[in-house]
Amino acid sequence: MFYLDRAATTPVRREVLEAMWPYLTGAFGNPSSTHGIGDAAARGLADARASVAAVLGCRPAEVVFTAGGTEGANTAVKGIALAAPRGRHVVTSAIEHEAVLESCRYLERFHGFDVTVLPVAPDGRVDPDVLVAALRPDTTLVSIAHADNEIGTVQDVPALAAAAHAVGARFHTDAVQSAPWLPVGLDVLGVDALSLSGHKLGAPKGTGVLAVRAGVPLEPLVHGGGQERGRRSGTEDVAGAVAVATAMTLAAATRGASAAAATTTRDAVLDGVLAAVPGAFVTGSRTSRLPGHASFCFPGVNGETVLLELEQRDVVTSSGSACAAGSTEVSHVLTALGLPEAVARTAVRLTFDAGLAAEDVPVVVRSVAEAVEAVRSLG
């Protein structure tokens, strides 16, 4: 079987499970407790925080452990906008994850913020000049993802963040999809806050990180005992923190080689499918694209039906964001590219790691071509 849905989730790595185990057994204590078992948990939490900071190139005090990318995005968007706003204007893009878009809508509905949603080019990129034109004296926050999960397009976040900073606005980026492949960090990207998810990196679901630059005010979503320096109350999930820290460290250690290998495979998949399937076209950017990400539209067929045909051929993949699975609505990302709804419903996304070998590519391409042809033959 070929599992080609890694943008949705990844299996937990054995090294991550082994790193977690002590904090689920002997060192299971509450890290706020003052006895020996609590101290062992506190040391594990501190070590995990230091490891994450090392990967992100920030201070341990700038790391907040979360329950995943959605919580991280919500905390960054709402927390920064509400803590010390310059004004009540936020800017985002039309292809953001629902966690960001819904957070912006929350600010609009309940706190009187004005939200500007930037258009994107047909390849999914945000033009920095378009952002500059949208910025206002009362803009307090810009939130634009580093890379998109549906189409794989990578944004020029350093340029976008610099534009926001030029008018005094803060900048948050959702790095959930880019963290497995690209260098990410507050200084690397020039951002004020960055959120990521553990289960895209080989950690369990329900783990994540929000990095917030020192000095950036942040209103917490969860109030209580003041854990995580008052930014996220509640007893810390030490095993989860160790898991995401271990996964991030492992990913960073092999990132360059893995990205290079997956990029070569990606290009072979893109070219192979385009040659094998008449009428197919790639969604997203060909030049500014995540490694291990190949996404297509197949006009005239239903993408969900193609997925069923692919699974019959032992290729497991998806049509887009798993967060919208089961929804009858067409992808907002694909329509933002200017695609008609009927065409957007033909989308198929193949996402994989460096383990997809060169000799596997012809098998995958043939399976895609056969699946599309099978659906077309149904009329």
The residues, ordered by sequence, that sit 6+ positions from 214 with a Cβ below 8 Å of its Cβ are: 59, 61, 62
Confidence at residue 262, expressed as pLDDT on a 0 to 100 scale: 98
Confidence at residue 329, expressed as pLDDT on a 0 to 100 scale: 85
pLDDT of 322 higher than 80: no
pLDDT of 337 higher than 60: yes
pLDDT in tens, 106-151: 999 999 999 999 999 999 999 999 999 999 999 999 999 999 999 9
pLDDT of 355 higher than 80: yes
Q: How confident is the model at residue 323 (pLDDT cuts 50, 70, 90)?
A: low
Q: How confident is the model at residue 274 (pLDDT cuts 50, 70, 90)?
A: very high
Lowest-confidence region among 245-254, 322-331, 367-376 = 322-331
pLDDT in tens, 210-239: 999 999 999 999 999 999 999 999 999 999
pLDDT in tens, 14-43: 999 999 999 999 999 999 999 999 999 999
pLDDT of 244 higher than 60: yes
Confidence at residue 11, expressed as pLDDT on a 0 to 100 scale: 98
pLDDT of 342 higher than 70: yes
Can you give the pTM of this predicted structure?
0.96
Any catalytic annotation for residue 58?
no
- The structure tokens listed for 304 are 């969900």
Which own/partner contact pairs does 17-25 have at CB distance under 8 Å and 24+ positions apart? 19/242, 19/243, 19/246, 20/204, 20/239, 20/240, 20/242, 20/243, 20/246, 23/238, 23/239, 23/242, 24/239
Whether the Cβ atoms of residue 367 and residue 273 lie closer than 8 Å to each other: no
Q: How confident is the model at residue 327 (pLDDT cuts 50, 70, 90)?
A: low
Quote the crossing angle between the two packed helices 98-111 and 69-83, to the nearest 10°: 30
Task: Give mean pLDDT, residues 332-345.
Answer: 97
The residues, ordered by sequence, that sit 6+ positions from 232 with a Cβ below 8 Å of its Cβ are: 64, 65, 66, 75, 220, 221, 222
- What structural domains does the chain harbor? 2-7+255-377 (3.90.1150.10), 14-251 (3.40.640.10)
Q: How confident is the model at residue 326 (pLDDT cuts 50, 70, 90)?
A: low
- The structure tokens listed for 216 are 């950036």
Q: How confident is the model at residue 320 (pLDDT cuts 50, 70, 90)?
A: confident
